[in-house]
């Protein structure tokens, strides 16, 4: 018995040592354009996010030991794919803003930094005070301009274009979801004033969704439930009245835990502008949807707090 234990232990040690030679490449990529932010804001982001969300990854000695290294390398690769502060220049100003608000929301909802990562890397944790600094910074970047002429013009242009618009075929998203024009007949289940990006939204639910709300069966939502979220520019006048400007997009979430098993049971689609252009470069656009909705995993991935009518 003792001999067997000895052999087993030696085998384990040899295996662990050999594992050290398998090292997936995480790459030391260049910094094309680093995030620009006030020093106190940037210090928090560098400390909490940069190991996985930049090309300036700082691995500790214990990160480099296999099999831990495999997991760390995968975190870093995934992290950079979703958000990379070292290639900040590659994003449009709108996308930069969007990414920052999303990042702070991920932190606030407890989805980031990943719990197992923050447990070992205690310096990655974001305290309440840190979070307040980040939120204050973002609030300071919100500027609502009354009578924004560019936005007024954008609306006017869409009104003019509407007359000669005659779409024959319904557009289809890259993951095979056909645009549902009927959403306009559905019940409103909420609205959202998105001051982070200057839009306002109306969220509709189909009959299945509305029935589920009435019966309090919304976690998980039943198969067949569909939401549509329509978004417009916010147009503000000098008295603080905000009305809908140019139509931005309509997004759908369709619940089907078999058909859409791979995307957490939901089919995601987004159609942009009055031309209803399907969003995304390829079918992998859903990775963006999933990653943003991930903090809502205890609510069946739904952000909306539905209203009963």
Partner 1 sequence: MKRILNISIVLFATLNSCKPLTGADALINQKASLPESFRLSELHQKVITSFINNRKHTTSILYGNKVVHSILGADRANGNSGESFTLVTWQQQDDAHWFGARIPGDLISAETLTVADSNSQTIYHYQKFKGKELTKLADTTGNADRVRFILSKKASIMP
Interacting positions 205-244 with partner 1 (CB under 8 A)? 210, 213, 216-220, 230, 232, 234, 236, 239-244
Minimum distance, C-beta of residue 2 to partner 1, in the bound complex (Å) = 25
Minimum distance, C-beta of residue 29 to partner 1, in the bound complex (Å) = 27
- Determine which residue in the list 12, 20, 193, 261 makes contact with partner 1, applying CB under 8 A: 193
Q: Which of residues 16-55 bind partner 1 (CB under 8 A)?
A: none
Minimum distance, C-beta of residue 147 to partner 1, in the bound complex (Å) = 13
Comparing CB distances to partner 1, the nearer of 10 and 243 is 243
Place of tokens 């305290």: 127
Q: How far is CA 65 from CA 16, 56, 70, 80, 245, in A?
A: 9, 19, 9, 21, 55
Question: What distance in Å separates the CA atoms of residue 100 and residue 229, rounded to the nearest whole number?
Answer: 22
- Determine which residue in the list 7, 132, 283, 307 makes contact with partner 1, applying CB under 8 A: 307
Interface with partner 1, residue 90, by CB under 8 A: no
Q: Show Cβ contacts of residue 301 under 8 Å, excluding neighbours closer than 6 positions.
A: 264, 265, 266, 293, 294
Size of the site for partner 1 (CB under 8 A): 71
Question: What distance in Å separates the CA atoms of residue 164 and residue 96, rounded to the nearest whole number?
Answer: 35
Interface with partner 1, residue 251, by CB under 8 A: no
What is the dihedral sign for C-alpha 194, 295, 262, 92? positive
Question: What distance in Å separates the CA atoms of residue 171 and residue 15, rounded to the nearest whole number?
Answer: 54
- Determine which residue in the list 84, 87, 158, 173 makes contact with partner 1, applying CB under 8 A: 158
**Which span (5-13, 36-44, 83-91, 245-253) binds partner 1, by CB under 8 A?**
245-253
**Which span (24-32, 39-47, 105-113, 261-269) binds partner 1, by CB under 8 A?**
105-113
Question: What distance in Å separates the CA atoms of residue 165 and residue 113, rounded to the nearest whole number?
Answer: 46
Q: How far is CA 147 from CA 29, 234, 236, 286, 301, in A?
A: 44, 10, 6, 35, 36
Q: Which of residues 276-305 bind partner 1 (CB under 8 A)?
A: 276, 295-296, 298-300, 302-305
């Amino acid at each position: 018995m003792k001999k067997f234990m000895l052999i087993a232990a030696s085998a384990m040690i040899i295996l662990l040592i050999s594992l050290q030679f398998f090292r997936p490449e995480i790459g030391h990529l260049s910094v094309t354009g680093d995030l620009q932010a006030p020093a106190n804001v940037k210090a928090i982001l560098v400390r909490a996010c940069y190991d996985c969300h930049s090309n300036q990854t700082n691995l500790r000695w214990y990160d480099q030991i296999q099999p831990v290294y495999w997991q760390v390398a995968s975190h870093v690769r995934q992290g950079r794919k979703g958000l990379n502060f070292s290639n900040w220049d590659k994003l449009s100003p709108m996308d930069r803003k969007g990414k920052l608000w999303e990042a702070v929301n991920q932190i606030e909802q407890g989805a980031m930094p990943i719990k197992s990562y923050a447990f070992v890397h205690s310096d990655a944790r974001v305290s309440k005070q840190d979070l307040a600094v980040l939120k204050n910074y973002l609030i300071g970047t919100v500027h609502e301009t009354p009578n924004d002429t560019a936005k007024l013009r954008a609306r006017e242009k869409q009104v003019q274009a509407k007359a000669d618009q005659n779409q024959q075929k319904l557009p289809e998203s890259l993951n095979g979801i056909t645009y549902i024009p009927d959403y306009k007949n559905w019940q409103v289940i909420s609205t959202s004033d998105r001051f982070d990006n200057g839009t306002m939204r109306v969220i509709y639910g189909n009959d299945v969704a509305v029935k589920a709300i009435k019966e309090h069966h919304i976690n998980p939502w039943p198969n067949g439930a569909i939401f549509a979220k329509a978004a417009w520019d916010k147009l503000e006048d000098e008295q603080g009245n905000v009305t809908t400007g140019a139509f931005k997009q309509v997004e759908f979430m369709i619940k089907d835990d078999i058909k859409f098993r791979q995307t957490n049971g939901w089919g995601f689609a987004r159609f942009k502008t009055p031309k209803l252009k399907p969003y995304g470069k390829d079918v992998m656009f859903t990775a963006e949807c999933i990653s943003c909705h991930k903090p809502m995993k205890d609510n069946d991935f739904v952000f909306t707090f539905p209203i009963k009518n």
